[in-house]
Chains A and B, each alone.
Chain A
Amino acid sequence: MQPDAQSPATAPLRAPDTVMTLARMGSFHQTRLSFMRILLRRIKSEGWAFSRPRFDIDARGVGIAVYTAHAPQNAYSLVVFANDLPPEKRSDRVIATEWDATFTLFDGIPTDADITRLRQNVPRQEAGRISAQELSLSRANRSVRLWDHVVASLAAGQQPDPAMIGDVGYLMRTTAVYGSGKFGAADREATQNRPEFSAPFQIEMLSVYLTRAFVMDLVEHMAYLRSPDTATALTPALRRQFGIGNSTGLGMAPFLLNHPGLLHAWISARETALARVRALPDASPSHVAQFLQIVKRARLHADAWRSAHPVQQAKLADLRRDLTLLEAEIAAKDWASSAPWDRLWRWGETALSLEGQEQLLALMLEPHAALVDDLSDRMSCDERTTWQIDGAMCCERLRALLKTHYGWALAIDWADPAAQTKLWYVSQSKLEPRLGERATEPLDDYEQPLCPGRDAARMWADLKNFTGATVADFALSHPEHRHILRRIQITARRPYAEIRGNTIGAALLPIDMLRAKLSFFGACHFDPRSDRWVRITMFQHAPFPDELASCPADDWTYPSLTPQSPNMHFAPTGASPA
């Protein structure tokens, strides 16, 4: 790949065959280029205002709230419908029909008529219908254990137990956040030219960010209604330790396969950022100091990361061991030598596990805001521009491209049943993507096109001896290969577009795909609950909307080194405990 002549110098980008393996993608960490961080940097730099024009919630926790974000040109309102959900109805699965709270991000400021309309629809989620005035649709469930503890503590005038907060990390977790045209919402095309939504998933991130503010207000409100005479509010320091949880299942995994151009944009921005840092001839003392500090904070983050899943437990052991190795390496490092960042990176490639390498990547970007943050402008993609098949390409060229970019797929023995154990399908009941067992379930007729490796190998079998001259001839003779043919041409132009691994093999862990995507959102504390769904936290430690003006917007993803005492962890000018 050619570096951009207008941009800072870069080291060679890592090869797609190295980056795009499922094991490595399943080890990705959030970085400066994650979508949550892009959003908060923008909110801060543009000085957005926030208001809460409505908060009518009764003692059972039922009611309506509206939170409005005022961007320079537009306002966006999170409209909340809070519910009193019986415990037996609480499920994170897409088959649920009721939730503790449901949300939509409204484009503007809703009128009473809008809220009446939304009230008929938003609580029903997939069964309802929203309009071009709405940008997202989502819902959240409480962590019952932590919720009850926090309400009881605050009602009694006590602060909740920090250890319990640490164990869970959130009071509510979203179980789906739908955007871009889903269930009648506005298409992304309707808002993509607004600067605040030019980066990917900014609507969804804003929705979750406002959801977090609502949840914290709600828990304090419920405590107050339970015991108005004794209730207290959370201290600001403790308040910030709550993120928003998210429970993500298989529904998200196909996204990476269905948006190859977008995947390339994300990965290439991140890889370019790494390459720019590696190309630096020297390391300034201030950057080194920042790096040393962020490594210590990453250690706190890794130590606080809990998972009951054996796969993740092993990865966490790797990560903690790698951070110990990294601390020793950088303590002894001669930072005055030439290209110190590149040397550190090369050391990491041999000394660290995949978890550690990808953590090192994220940490190396941290001190270099001025060098890499502009890459956030390159993370969107008009996928239509590379969608059309180039039929004038000669078949010889297509054969060469297939061998170059899908060599990994041709190396797999697809006749071995283990190579095709699984298949992706969509269930009739909730239109939910699922993963089936090919040998034991009669699902072949329903297989989704989510196995590019197998499909490329099948195409190769027909292409290698095809006598026609052009791709147009091949496409006319073999319409069954049209899907993978398109992907191959996209990948030839955008080499990080394809996951270079078997997405239907016996060894597939769908959580690897989920983690890759969620890391770009900015998620932390990946906690797989099985091989195919994962819980995470979002915006944990982030400043709340009313705090952003008076504190840094982008210094929260790793915990602070300051002891977690009230009013020390976060102390905006003039602020006092609520």
Chain B
Amino acid sequence: MSWSLNEIESLARKAARGAGFSWGLAEEAGYAARWLAGVNLPGPEALANLLIAQDGTAFSALRPTHTDVDTWQASGGTLCPISTGTALGDKARMLPAQCRLSDVAQPLLLVPFIAGAANIAQQTLFLEWPGAAFHVGSNLRGCVTTPFAQAQTVLLKQGGRTSLPLLRCQLRYDLAPGAAADLNNLAQRTYAPDTDASRLGGAGAGLSDND
């Protein structure tokens, strides 16, 4: 089914919140899923995989323990790409010439944050892991062969690789039904169960609509 990018972003944000992300990080997850869908990469599917795999894990175990070192890692062993990506984006103007990320789940979800960092820092950045390479700067290039595989090492460095194919922008995305269902299930957790009292009081109706 063809989804609008607003729908993708909204669903991804709610699903991330439902999976335990803070609202601010859930917004970042929504942004990442939308950004990738907008270049026809399976970001929403990667996010669905990530949220299910991380469900119930303490956030503190998934984020980088230190960001002032050359190799970032998580205390729990596997880095969350949303936490890691936002931390990289937050440090856009302070990134070292080269940075290694150890054991990243769904590394595809890093790409939107690197693109944001490149935009803020006004420089071209290059991101690669086995089976994937991305060049982000004044244009977007890249390819990925196994989009959902965990990466033992992701390398981020300044400079680009213009031999990579250009990414194609689009305004719609065909979201895989299984991933849509997974994201919807997680998003459901953000909705309060209905009661008659809340239906009447919560929206403030009660007067007749027939005039």
Contact = CB atoms under 8 A, between A and B. Distances in A.
B4 A428 contact: no
Given A426-B190, A472-B67, A449 B5 contact: no
A185 B192 contact: no
Which among A388, A449, A480, A484 has the greatest number of chain B C-beta atoms within 10 A? A388
B87 A533 contact: no
Given A87-B210, A181-B7, A388-B120, A476 B25 contact: no
A532 B90 contact: no
B205 A428 contact: no
Interface residues of B, number: 52
A482 B207 contact: no
Contact of B191 (A87, A181, A427): A427
Contacts of B31: 387
Contact of B188 (A90, A428, A510): A428
Given A427-B191, A427-B199, A181 B63 contact: no
A476 B209 contact: no
A5 to B, nearest CB: 25
B157 interface: no
B42 interface: no
A552 interface: no
B90 A471 contact: yes
A90 B83 CA distance: 47
Contacts of A484: 24
A151 to B, nearest CB: 16
Q: How large is the interface on A (under 10, 10 to 19, 20 to 34, 35 or more residues)?
A: 35 or more
Given A426-B191, A427-B198, A181 B5 contact: yes
Interface string A477-498: 0011111111000000000000
B90 A249 contact: no
Nearest to B193: A428
Interface string A384-411: 0001111110000000000000000000
Given A131-B2, A446-B191, A472-B87, A482 B24 contact: yes
A428 B211 contact: no
Given A181-B5, A391-B92, A531-B204, A91 B191 contact: no
Nearest to A471: B90
Interface in A527-542: 529-533
Interface string A262-298: 0000000000000000000000000000000000000
Given A143-B211, A476-B67, A432 B203 contact: yes
Nearest to B31: A387
Contacts of B28: 482
Given A434-B202, A476-B63, A532-B203, A184 B4 contact: yes
Contacts of A129: 1
A481 B24 contact: yes
Which among B5, B171, B197, B202 has the greatest number of chain A C-beta atoms within 10 A? B202
A446 B192 contact: yes
A476 B171 CA distance: 32
Contacts of A210: none
A249 B210 contact: no
B204 A90 contact: no
Nearest to A474: B90
Interface stretch (A186-194, A214-222, A517-525): A186-194
B161 interface: no
Nearest to A484: B24
Contacts of A432: 203
Interface in A53-85: none
Interface string A365-395: 0000000000000000000000111111000
Contacts of B83: 479
18 contacts: A91-B209, A93-B205, A132-B171, A181-B4, A184-B1, A190-B171, A247-B209, A250-B204, A387-B31, A391-B92, A427-B194, A434-B203, A449-B23, A476-B63, A479-B59, A479-B83, A482-B22, A533-B205
Given A168-B211, A431-B191, A480-B24, 5 more contacts: A250-B203, A388-B116, A391-B89, A429-B199, A484-B24
Interface of A: 87, 90-95, 129, 131-132, 141, 143-145, 168, 180-182, 184-190, 247, 249-250, 387-392, 425-429, 431-432, 434-437, 441, 443, 446, 449, 470-472, 475-476, 479-486, 510, 529-533
